[in-house]
């Protein structure tokens, strides 16, 4: 465990389980902890992918305005037959480690009780805990229905609107990088096919040109080494650029969804405030009408009682509505503070994540071009002594 951390989680040792109705993979989760709320210093449990899905749902329910990290996507229909392959399992395990490490480094999510249970509970206890339902589920579902109304907000929040615009631009930039990189990678694959046909020409030619044999063989070897370097660059694409960028794009989507939740709270506050203002206006008009004899004339036998009944109902309804407005305002202010703090935390994580992606990309390019330069320089270093011998003769 890191000296500066009181919680460390590692996911490894995937195992395949064959049961009558299903086949699935579990991962070992080793937790080392130095927190008072944990009774032991180390825990070892096994969890499957669906357990991680449950964990993320619980974190989202408990902390609707925290940016809960995304999970790696489920296998596609096309890739379903290959989901038990070693490469797929190792790729998923790596992504799950990223998911959990983000939770561990989060000041709020790492203290969640469901997360603690996920890390520490034995399988029977964990299964029992999973079956329990909380009241927060209905609340989250109810609020989610109003997410579509955020575009009708009467007062835009400049700070969060600025963040939304930034996220949109960032997403577009990363998407463009990923698409162009993917296209270049496909072109490199085609290039490798051509290179594989290219270097045998020089080695074959060398057999019929004794005077040029050494040079031709060295060029053939250089092309072959270039092909190997190109192939390594192509194979590194998914882990260096493709998957990391797609993962981070999903992370951006999570931030945008969290901002939409906040807008749902703002919409609820604005609607309740608008309703309160309407009821106040209605009450003022009724009071003015009841004190205006000219308007009341000719209708006193039936109009006045109706007016009094409305005033009486509004006298009960307006205080209730006022409490609702105040409650919605409090909820909105809490949402603003929570989301503002979490976006600041996410921005720091974003800097580290994107810096790592870009530097990994740069280092792979350096390795590739260094390998190609070395291959061609080897040709000249081999030919130079031969040229000197030829000149001396």
> Rounded distance, CA 118 to CA 196, Å?
51
Distance between CA atoms of 308 and 9, rounded to whole angstroms?
67
For residues 165-176, average pLDDT: 97
Residue 75: pLDDT band (50, 70, 90) is low
Q: What does the DSSP assignment read for 91-103?
A: HHHHHHHHHHHHH
Contact criterion met (CB below 8 Å) for 368 and 225:
no
Higher pLDDT: 347 or 134? It is: 347
Q: How far is CA 322 from CA 262, 277, 332, in A?
A: 21, 10, 15
pLDDT digits (tens, 9 = 90+) for 277-312: 888 888 878 777 776 655 545 555 444 557 777 777
Task: Give me the pLDDT at residue 292, please.
Answer: 66
Q: What is the tens place of the pLDDT at every residue in 115-137?
A: 999 999 999 999 999 988 765 55
Cβ atoms of 71 and 54 within 8 Å: the answer is: no
Give the C-alpha separation, 316 to 319, whole Å.
6
106 vs 279, residue with greater confidence: 106
Q: What is the structure's pLDDT at 86?
A: 86
- Per residue in 4-57, pLDDT tens? 688 999 999 999 998 888 889 999 999 999 999 999 999 999 999 999 999 999
Domains of the chain: 7-134 (3.30.1520.10), 177-392 (1.20.1270.60)
């Amino acid at each position: 465990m890191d000296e500066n951390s009181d919680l460390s989680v590692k996911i490894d040792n995937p195992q395949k389980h064959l049961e009558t109705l299903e086949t699935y993979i579990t991962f070992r989760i080793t937790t080392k902890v130095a927190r008072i709320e944990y009774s032991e210093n180390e825990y070892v449990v096994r969890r499957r992918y669906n357990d991680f899905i449950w964990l993320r749902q619980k974190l989202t329910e408990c902390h609707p305005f925290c940016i809960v990290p995304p999970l790696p996507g489920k296998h596609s229909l096309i890739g379903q037959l290959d989901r038990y392959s070693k490469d797929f399992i190792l790729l998923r395990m790596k992504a799950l480690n990223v998911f959990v490490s983000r939770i561990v480094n989060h000041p709020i999510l790492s203290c969640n009780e469901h997360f603690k249970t996920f890390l520490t509970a034995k399988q029977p206890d964990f299964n029992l805990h999973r079956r329990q339902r909380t009241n927060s589920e209905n609340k989250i579902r109810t609020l989610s229905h109003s997410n579509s109304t955020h575009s009708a907000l009467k007062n835009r929040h400049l700070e969060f609107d600025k963040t939304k615009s930034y996220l949109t631009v960032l997403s577009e930039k990363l998407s463009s990088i990923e698409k162009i990189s993917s296209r270049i990678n496909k072109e490199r694959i085609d290039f490798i096919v051509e290179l594989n046909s290219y270097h045998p020409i020089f080695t074959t030619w060398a057999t019929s040109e004794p005077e040029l044999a050494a040079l031709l063989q060295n060029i053939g070897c250089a092309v072959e080494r270039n092909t190997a370097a190109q192939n390594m660059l192509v194979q590194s694409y998914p882990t260096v650029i493709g998957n990391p960028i797609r993962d981070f794009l999903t992370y951006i989507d999570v931030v945008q969804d969290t901002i939409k939740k906040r807008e749902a709270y703002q919409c609820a506050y604005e609607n309740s405030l608008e309703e309160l203002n309407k009821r106040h206006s209605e009450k003022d008009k009724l009071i003015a009408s009841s004190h205006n004899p000219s308007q009341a004339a000719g209708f006193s036998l039936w109009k006045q009682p109706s007016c009094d009944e409305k005033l009486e109902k509004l006298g009960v309804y307006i205080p209730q509505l006022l409490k609702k407005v105040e409650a919605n305002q409090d909820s909105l202010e809490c949402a603003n503070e929570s989301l503002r703090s979490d976006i600041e935390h996410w921005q720091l994580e974003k800097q580290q994540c994107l810096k790592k992606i870009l530097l990994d990309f740069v280092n792979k390019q350096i390795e590739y071009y260094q390998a190609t330069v070395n291959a061609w320089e080897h040709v000249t270093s081999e030919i130079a002594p031969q040229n000197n011998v030829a000149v001396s003769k």
